[in-house]
Amino acid sequence: MLSALSYIVLATIRLGTPIAITAMGATISERTGILNIGLEGIMSMGAFLAVLGSYWTGNPWFGVLLAVLVGVVISAVHGFVSIVCGGAQGVSSQALVLLATGFCSVGLQAIFGQKGMSPTVNTIATTEFLRPIPLVGNILADFSPIVYIALILLFVCNFVLFKTPLGLRMCACGEHPRAAETAGINVGAMRFLGVLISGFLGGLAGAFLSVGQMNLFQEGMVAGRGYLAMGAIIMGRWTPTGAFAAAMCFGLFDAVQLYIQIIPNSPIPHEFVQMIPYVASIIVLALTIKGATGPAASGQPYSKISGTR
């Protein structure tokens, strides 16, 4: 029983972290007024580029760097479309998903000459310098350093968003861009910053999936985690801490799903078990959504050339 519990707790942290990192970024982006449903795509690009970087140099940290960079670049495309051009944000971010699926698949064949998955590469699955800590050292060291980076980022995001003038300005752009502009805030720049941060974190989360958790890239490995992050934002009421907690809740569903799968002779067909995270997140969201209102101008274009300013 204890082993089951510890299995689920550890798996929750591993599975919840990528959703949490993405959800924090998406929270910041939505706070500035830009929806980014394309994080699913950014994550898979990040996962792919992380493997590529690690494959080329043998250093997984280089892969993480590459993943983060590509996240920023792709989200800049989304930023251009939705901020400069005032295009439909939900639709444009869906393009990122298509681009990413296409790019990963074409890239796998063009670069590795393989279909479906990449060769194995060096990883950062453990944090060795924590191992000497007595009692808990072995457990702590079994997590990827990215898990700890995620915890640090949680504090950074919270601090920046709620304790600094910059954060206040970003939030103002998501609530009432016109008022923000009247107060002398550069709305476009703030929104771009928000989108780029979400891309940065999405890339990092993708890198965690491929080199932090496994040792290869597999098509479809993101499996909707980027979309779950969207649900986590709503459940977390558009705060980094809330989104982090909600993401861990989704991670728990995933962990339970994995645990039931390894029980021998389980009476439930495993396809139904695999549905658990998706079904549970809809139910939980439906139960908790009452009274959730996001940033007032989230998803609304504010652009000079489209005449929405």
Partner 1 sequence: MKQSTAERPPSVTAKERPTKKFKKPSSEKLRAMGLECSISLIAFALSIITGGIILAILGVNPLTAYASLFKGALGTPSAIAGTINRMIPIILAGLAIAVGRKGSVFNIGVEGQLIIGALLGCLAGIYLKLPAIIHLPVCLLCGMLGGMAWAFIPAWLRLKKNVGVVFTTIMFNYIAKFLLTYLVISVFVTSGGQLSATEKMQDTARLPALIGRPYNINSGILIAVLAVIVVYIFINKTKWGYEMRATGINKNASGSAGINVDRNMFLALLISGALAGLGGCLEIHGSVFRMFADYSPGYGPTGIAVALLAKSNPIAVLLTAFLFGAMRNGAALMQMSTGVSSEFVSIVQGLIIIFVCSENFIRYLMKKAQKRGVAHA
- Rounded to an integer, what distance in angstroms lies between the CA atom of residue 221 and that of residue 204? 15
> Does residue 5 bind partner 1 (CB under 8 A)?
no
Q: How many residues bind partner 1, per CB under 8 A? A: 53
Residue with smaller CB distance to partner 1, 19 or 234 = 234
Shortest CA distance to 101 belongs to which of 258, 208, 212, 226? 226
Task: Please count the CA atoms within 13 angstroms of the CA of 60 that sit on its side-chain side.
Answer: 24
Q: Provide the angle, in degrees to the nearest 10, between the axes of the packed helices 240-262 and 270-288.
A: 160
- Rounded to an integer, what distance in angstroms lies between the CA atom of residue 227 and that of residue 36? 10
What the block records as the tokens of 65 is: 């760097």
Binding residue (CB under 8 A) for partner 1 from 103, 200, 217, 302 = 103
- Rounded to an integer, what distance in angstroms lies between the CA atom of residue 52 and that of residue 48? 6
Residue with smaller CB distance to partner 1, 147 or 249 = 249
- Rounded to an integer, what distance in angstroms lies between the CA atom of residue 54 and that of residue 198? 23
Planar angle of CA 245, 68, 28, nearest 5 degrees: 40
Of 18-26, 49-57, 76-84, 174-182: span binding partner 1 (CB under 8 A): 76-84
CB of 147 to partner 1, least distance (A): 25
- Rounded to an integer, what distance in angstroms lies between the CA atom of residue 208 and that of residue 19? 10
Binding residue (CB under 8 A) for partner 1 from 10, 69, 88, 117 = 88
Of 52-60, 91-99, 153-161, 208-216: span binding partner 1 (CB under 8 A): 91-99
> Does residue 81 bind partner 1 (CB under 8 A)?
yes
Of 10-18, 175-183, 191-199, 272-280: span binding partner 1 (CB under 8 A): 272-280
Q: Within a 10 A sphere around the Cβ of 276, how many other Cβ atoms? A: 18
What the block records as the tokens of 91 is: 């639709």
DSSP state of 68: H
> Does residue 92 bind partner 1 (CB under 8 A)?
yes
CB of 202 to partner 1, least distance (A): 16
- Rounded to an integer, what distance in angstroms lies between the CA atom of residue 68 and that of residue 219? 19
Shortest CA distance to 195 belongs to which of 45, 42, 66? 42
Of 12-20, 175-183, 209-217, 219-227: span binding partner 1 (CB under 8 A): 219-227
> Does residue 109 bind partner 1 (CB under 8 A)?
yes
Restricting to residues 126-165, name those near partner 1 by CB under 8 A. Answer: none
Binding residue (CB under 8 A) for partner 1 from 91, 151, 168, 183 = 91
Residue with smaller CB distance to partner 1, 77 or 141 = 77
Binding residue (CB under 8 A) for partner 1 from 97, 205, 243, 256 = 97
> Does residue 274 bind partner 1 (CB under 8 A)?
yes
Binding residue (CB under 8 A) for partner 1 from 43, 230, 247, 249 = 230
Binding residue (CB under 8 A) for partner 1 from 4, 5, 9, 106 = 106
Binding residue (CB under 8 A) for partner 1 from 216, 246, 285, 297 = 285
- Rounded to an integer, what distance in angstroms lies between the CA atom of residue 158 and that of residue 66? 25
- Rounded to an integer, what distance in angstroms lies between the CA atom of residue 188 and that of residue 173? 9
Task: Please count the CA atoms within 13 angstroms of the CA of 120 that sit on its side-chain side.
Answer: 6
Which residues here bind partner 1, judged by CB under 8 A?
37, 77, 80-82, 84-88, 90-92, 94-103, 105-111, 115, 223-224, 227, 230-231, 234, 269, 271-272, 274-275, 278-279, 281-282, 285-286, 289-290, 303, 305-306
